[in-house]
Structures are given as C-alpha cells and as structure tokens.
Amino acid sequence: MSSSDRDLRDFMIGLCLAIGSSVFIGVSFILKKLGLLRYARKVSTRAGQGGCGYLREWMWWAGMILMTLGEGANFAAFAFAPATMVTPLGALSVIVSAVLSARILKEKLNILGKVGCFLCVLGSTVMVIHAPKEQEVHSVLDLVLKMKEPAFIVYALIMLITAIVTIFYFVPRYGQKNVLVYITVCSTLGSFTVMGCKGVGTAINATVRGHNEFTNWITYVLLGVIIVCIILQLNFLNKALDTFNTAVVTPIYYVFFTSFVITGSAILFQEFQHMGALDIVGFLCGFLTIIAGIFLLNAFKDLKISWRNLPKVTKEADIPETGSINSTVGLNGVTNATFVDVQQIEAHISRNMSNGCITRTMSDDSDCNDNGCAPDRYHGSSPVLDM
C-alpha cells in the first residue's frame, strides 16, 4: 500500500471514530447535567460552589463513563486523522446535546435551533471534504523537532500564562458571573490535551507498525500532560455545567476549544502546509458555517418561533392614511381590523353639538337631566347621549 493510500485509509478510520466520539460526548453532557441537578435538589452546596457530593450520583457517573468512551474514541481518531479535522467534528456533539436537552431537560429548541443544527452538519461536511488528508507527523522524533520551532514555543507560553492567570485570578472573582471564565480555562488546557493526544496517538500508531516509540521519554511527558489537563478540564467543565445553562456552555466551549486547537495544530503540526488555497478557504468557510449554526442554535432559543407562526406569504391590505382601528380576535387567533374614518366622527360631532354646548359650563344642578348629562340649551337634548 502506498503512502497516500495508507493516509486515506487512516483518514476514514479517524473520521468514523470522531463521529462516534461526538455522539458519546453529546449524550454524556445530558447525563452529567441530570446528575448535577439531582445532587442540587438534595443539598445546598452546589458543584459550582465547590461541592463534590455529585460523585455519589450514579447518573453523573454514567455520563462520565460515556464521556470517557467518547474521549477514548476521540483519542484514537487523532492517531489516524489530522487534528484540524477531528476537533471540528465536535460540533456533532453540540447537536446531540441540543436535541436531547430539548427532549429530556425541557430546554427549548425552536425552528431557528433546528436550522442551526442543519448548518452544523453542513459545515462539518464541508470541513471534512477540504480537511488535509495527509499526516505531517509520523513519529515522535518529527513531533519533537516541530515542538522546538519558535512559533510553537510562543503559542504554548501564551496559552499556559492565560490558563494560570484565569485559574488564580478570574475564577475566584468572576467564575459564578461569566461563563467565559470557566470556558477559557477548559479551552486553553484543551489545546494542550489535543496536541498531547495527537503525539501519543502518533507514538501508538508508529509502535503498531513496528517502530517502538515508548522507549522515548517525550511519549511519557505527553501522556502526563494529557492526564493533568483532562483532570483540570473536567473540574472546571463541571462547574460551568452546574452554574450555567447546558445549551449555553456546550456551543461556547466548542467555539473556543476548536479555535485554539486549530490554531495550535496549524502552528505545531503544520497541517495546512500542503493544502491549496481553495481547500484552506473551504475549510475556514465550513468552520464559520458551524459557528453560525451554533449561534442560531442558542442565541434565539428563548423565542417562540415555529412553522405555524411564521409570517404570512400574502401581503395584508394597505392601511388607510386617516383612520382608527377596532381590533377583534377571531377563533383562529388572527386579528380582524375594522377601519373607521376620523372625518366621519368629526362630522357627526359637528352636527349634534353646537358651539354653545361645547363652550358653556354648568353653573347649577338644574341644568342636569336624570342621566347626569346637561341638556343643550338650544336644542333641548343631550348631544352626548345622541352620539
């Protein structure tokens, strides 16, 4: 088998593993949220406030097991396919989470949310078509050489400083108020997790093919980075899920996490190096399409929009320039408007009321009739009752 054929086969294997991972992770979000809700109903100290009693909830552990399986499949996908293709497919977990949130957690999913789901699938398809099909790193030695590049060293330092400052300064002050605090920690650490998974996956793949990479110390360093980053990610992700709405946490986490991973992968693995201009543009357009879908999925989730109450196709009759509207609501819920000409009202008033009746004041009670309305001194009747 030629190198290109082997890379294409590995690409398809990685694609299937990435899709399966998204399904597992999407379901795990719902189960973990249910476990946190069950725990919150029993005690006063929530997970977002430092409580750890959710560890006794079996439903939370079920979600944790599914997330572990999903992350395992995702880890295996990095061994076969480029990180810039595997990571964006996490948008499918957003769709799974949104649909199940609407069904199980009773969180709303209107017509705009459904359109957002469609855009996520469309964007994922476009990204898969234009994603790089060739591996740029085939051994741990290749990875070490790329890690020594100045561009990656600067990127790694920026991500590390951002994570440390956010954990020790912003989390205690703004963690319960702004969802971006927890998401920033998870995303910056997640970029290191993905690059570590890619490195260890490459080592496993090379070992299976006959070149043992577990004799190299860098393999164990990458494995340690993965373990530490995953533990910290889970901790802050649990706090985010417990404090904020699932439909808000999931998409924002996806956008930040994927953006950092694509940037880090482009710098470290140089997966865009052999891509044409059209493939790069198509890849970025697919990613932006996914972001647009996620925005529609969540920005308008509280609006009651469905196929039944969409605007009518036919144009309503023109409203007269002068007139007032008497509105009545029919059985079908549609407002029926009747227009009354203001000029007719003015003419009716002028015919039934004299200037003297309008301008005079009642000086004594004798001018009032039985109905409490003063009779017109010129016509002997009450113009108000006549109207």
Higher pLDDT residue, 353 or 206?
Answer: 206
Residue pair 297/251 in contact (Cβ under 8 Å)? The answer is yes
pLDDT at 104 over 90: no
The pLDDT of residue 148 is 87
The pLDDT of residue 160 is 93
Determine the Cα–Cα distance for residues 142 and 133; give it in Å rounded to an integer: 18
The pLDDT of residue 51 is 56
Of the ranges 161-175, 296-310, 340-354, 358-372, which one carries the lowest mean pLDDT score?
Answer: 358-372
Q: For 367, which DSSP code?
A: G
The pLDDT of residue 167 is 93
Mean pLDDT of the region 156-168: 93
Determine the Cα–Cα distance for residues 128 and 84; give it in Å rounded to an integer: 9
| pLDDT tens per residue across span 25-69 | 888 888 888 887 877 777 655 545 555 666 777 888 888 889 889
pTM to 2 decimals?
A: 0.64
Q: What proportion of the chain, given as a percentage, has pLDDT over 70?
A: 74
The pLDDT of residue 293 is 87
Exposed / middle / buried, residue 222 (Cβ in 10 Å: 0-12, 13-18, 19+):
buried
Residue with tokens 């249910």: 34
Determine the Cα–Cα distance for residues 173 and 167; give it in Å rounded to an integer: 10
Phi/psi region, residue 363 (left: phi>0; alpha: psi -120 to 50; beta: rest), is alpha
pLDDT at 298 over 80: no
